[in-house]
Amino acid sequence: MDLPDVQSTCPDVRINLTRVGVKNVKKLVEVMRPNKRPMIFISNFDVFVDLPGSLKGANLSRNFEVIDEVLQQAIDGEVSGIEELCSVVARKLLDRHEYADRTEVQMRSEFMVKRETPVSKTSCHEVVKVHARAIAQRTFHEPLIRKSIGAEVTGMTACPCAQNIMQEHAAHVLTELGVENEKIEKFFAEVPMATHNQRGRGFLCIETDDEEHVDLETIITILKDSMSARTYELLKRGDESYVVMAAHKNARFVEDCVREMAKRVLAAFDYLPGDSRITIKQTNEESIHQHDAYAERKATLAELVVEMDEENNKKIH
């Protein structure tokens, strides 16, 4: 006996819905890599389609079927990255939901990264938050797909303003003690002055056309290297001294971190088309204030290139 298909009936109120779907679908994602261990992501998916006013509901079971099907492709090595995984899901959803003109897949994951401390070379792990998204739009020919990949990592920043104040005070004291200016300068070059620190949270996301590839590990490296110093779960005494010294020799405001990320994005992803969209955010959790410092930049790659070229021309002239 055929069961009734209630979703296909006409609703009482016939209006189109922008997004209908499922949220917080938990999955373990395994992406194979040649000559490397698989990338494992503990992930939450949000999957949506648009719905015309002529249908009472969407067939949500198809969303789960497509996700499981594409996850198996990733395990088999047919999908090379999580943004591609989202792209394939979005594309297949258009095939399964013939009434939909637009599909959207969002993926939020935790990715365990293996690290080595800078001095003792102690092995430790770090959890990185990873974001991926794909939107597929039906056209008269092939679907138009835009996808994005991003990450959020933590690091350490040191405040340049307070450090400058402390250095001026120390220089005055040393001068009063009869220390020569040349020796004072050499001392500051070797031993940076104290300042207050922040735990920084950097976010970088890059949106591209479907055929482009953006390396996730490059994004993570850019984020880590754009703050004053990297942080580690486990530090021996030599490692701790190295991290603190590195941070204080590389003091940066929250604004500096965002600008440094932008510069590194241009160097690492210069092969991407100019309409690739870059989103950069930095939040510094203050230690001597009760608020957080924040900066962000959203722009196309082409816009950043123009600004950087203008800045370089100013320096030349």
The number of beta carbons lying within 10 Å of the beta carbon of residue 311 is 11
- Torsion angle, alpha carbons of 296, 213, 77, 26, to 10: 20
Which pLDDT value is given to residue 109? 93
Give the angle subtended at the CA of 275 by the CAs of 272 and 281, to the nearest 5°.
85
pLDDT for the residue numbered 1: 58
pLDDT of residue 3: 56
Contacts of 53 (CB under 8 A, 6+ apart): 11, 14, 15, 16, 17
Summarize the confidence of residues 48-71 as an average pLDDT. 82
pLDDT per residue over 203-225, tens digit each?
999 999 999 999 999 999 999 99
Residue 246 reports pLDDT greater than 90: yes
156-203: pLDDT as tens digits: 999 999 999 999 999 999 999 999 999 999 999 889 999 999 999 999
- For 75-91, how does the pLDDT look when each residue is reduced to its tens digit (9 = 90+)? 676 777 889 989 989 99
Asked if pLDDT for residue 140 goes beyond 80, the answer is yes
The closest of 107, 108, 172 to 135, measured between CA atoms, is 107
Strands 277-285 and 197-209: antiparallel
User: Which pLDDT band holds residue 4 (cuts at 50, 70, 90)?
Assistant: low
Q: If you average pLDDT over residues 23-51, what whole number do you get?
A: 86
Which residue(s) pair with 153 in the sheet?
Answer: 202
Tokens of 62: 């198809």
Q: Which two tokens stand for residue 27?
A: 């999955």
* Angle at 120 (CA atoms; ends 118, 126), nearest 5 degrees: 55
Residue 127: CA count within 13 A, CB half-sphere: 7
Look up residue 50 and give its two tokens.
């648009």
Instruction: Determine the residue type at 48.
Output: F
Rounded to an integer, what distance in angstroms lies between the CA atom of residue 290 and that of residue 112? 31
The predicted structure's pLDDT at residue 280: 98
Longest CA–CA span in the chain (Å) reads: 100
227-230-234 Cα angle (round to 5): 155
- The mean of the pLDDT values for the chain is 89
Residues 6+ apart with CB under 8 A from 272: 206, 208, 212, 214, 301
pLDDT at 242: 93
Residue 256 or 30, more confident: 256
DSSP track, the chain: -PPP-GGGSPPSS---EEEEEEEEEEEEEEEEETTEEEEEEEEEEEEEEEE-TT-S---THHHHHHHHHHHHHHHTTS--SHHHHHHHHHHHHHHH-TT-SEEEEEEEEEEEEEEE-TTT--EEEEEEEEEEEEEEE--SSSPEEEEEEEEEEEEEEE-HHHHHHHHHHHHHHHHHTT--HHHHHHHHHHSPPP--EEEEEEEEEEEEETT----HHHHHHHHHHTSSB---S---HHHHHHHHHHHHTT---HHHHHHHHHHHHHHH-TTS-TT-EEEEEEEEE-SSSSSEEEEEEEEEHHHHHHHHHHHHHHHH-
